[in-house]
């Protein structure tokens, strides 16, 4: 199993970024490569990397199934909210199109059907699904 929730911690100021991935090993490599080549998506982290060098530590918080990934990512964000300073959105309900690929095919079909039928945006449908999913836990 290589699916889980991880933390990237700044050793200078203690700030953290919380993320999740279906392949954490590859995700860590991508983060490191993007820092090195000055193209990391998180500009605040990139600025601090450029200023201090390789100051980030990478830690897997937990391994889980893909079905439970969003649930545990949100719980980790909630637990670390005091030092979680790099995440742009404090909740997984953020409009993130990639979330649709983390759910089972039948659910994807329902998203597409509902979006088309009700004229909703994909983000609205994903947020609604996540709220229902989290309320069941």
Host domain of residue 111:
93-137
Number of domains making up the chain:
2
The reply to whether 99 and 62 lie within a common domain is: no
| Per-residue model confidence as pLDDT tens digits over 103-134 | 445 555 555 555 545 555 555 666 666 666 55
pTM: 0.66
> Residues with Cβ < 8 Å from 125, sequence gap 6 or more?
111, 114, 115
The reply to whether 67 and 34 lie within a common domain is: yes
State how far the Cα of 32 lies from the Cα of 54, in Å rounded to an integer: 9
Q: Tokens representing 108?
A: 């994807």
| Per-residue model confidence as pLDDT tens digits over 52-107 | 999 999 999 999 999 999 888 988 888 888 888 998 776 765 443 334 444 445 55
CATH number at residue 60: 3.40.1440.10
Residue 18's DSSP bridge partners are 7
The reply to whether 15 and 79 lie within a common domain is: yes
The reply to whether 11 and 64 lie within a common domain is: yes
| Per-residue model confidence as pLDDT tens digits over 4-50 | 999 999 999 999 999 999 999 999 999 999 999 999 999 999 999 99
The reply to whether 63 and 105 lie within a common domain is: no
State how far the Cα of 45 lies from the Cα of 50, in Å rounded to an integer: 9
């Amino acid at each position: 199993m290589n699916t889980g929730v991880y933390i990237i911690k700044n050793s200078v100021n203690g700030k953290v970024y919380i993320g999740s991935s279906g392949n954490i090993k590859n995700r860590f490599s991508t983060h490191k490569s993007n820092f090195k080549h000055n193209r990391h998506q998180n500009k605040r982290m990139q600025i601090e990397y450029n200023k201090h060098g390789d100051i980030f530590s990478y830690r897997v918080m937990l391994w889980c199934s893909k079905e439970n990934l969003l649930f545990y990512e949100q719980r980790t964000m909630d637990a670390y909210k005091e030092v979680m300073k790099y995440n742009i959105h404090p909740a997984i309900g953020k409009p993130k199109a990639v979330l649709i690929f983390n759910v089972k095919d039948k659910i994807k079909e329902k998203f597409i059907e509902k979006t088309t039928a009700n004229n909703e945006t994909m983000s609205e449908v994903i947020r609604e699904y996540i709220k229902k999913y989290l309320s069941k836990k």
